[in-house]
Amino acid sequence: MIKDAKSYATFLYTLDNQFLDIIWSEIKFFNTSPSKAVAYGTFYFNNEIELYFREILDFSMNEIIDYSYEVLQAHQKLYYYDPQPHPDDPNLASTFPHHKHVPPDIKHNRQPALHLSFDRPNLPALIKEILDTLL
């Protein structure tokens, strides 16, 4: 749950304790108003894998109001997630608006993102995906 700024910041800054495969992280978290915050940064893994994230949070609504997640290897984008609506794509209806961009034609090739949400942290599922598929 996206409860408050202090608990979410603690969650972010302790993810490397929960996932020991994170070898290094750079995280920025700051409030933009009494009830809103921005979080962004990068988690680094072996094999030159990086998870870049950006989240805009609204604690009065207990949700992530916008996000971007990118997975790179050796600075090359492997895939990314965003909530930009694509109502014209019926393949994405099951997870609207959450989806994953994958090669080939990474900008236009989209898949449903079953594990993403606006009302709970997404990073643990994304990290687990990296561990299960890339490491």
The token pair that represents 52 in the structure block:
């870049």
32-52 residue pLDDT tens: 999 999 999 999 999 999 999
> HEC profile for the chain?
CCCCHHHHHHHHHCHHHHCCCCCEEEEEEEEEECCEEEEEEEEECCCCEEEEEEEEEECCCCEEEEEEEEEEECCEEEEEEECCCCCCCHHHHHHCCCEEECCCCCCCCEEECCCCCCCCCCHHHHHHHHHHHCC
The pLDDT value recorded for residue 3 is 87
Q: What is the pTM of this model?
A: 0.93
Report domain extents, the chain.
Answer: 5-133
The pLDDT value recorded for residue 111 is 95
90-110 residue pLDDT tens: 989 999 999 999 999 999 999
Average pLDDT over residues 3-22: 95
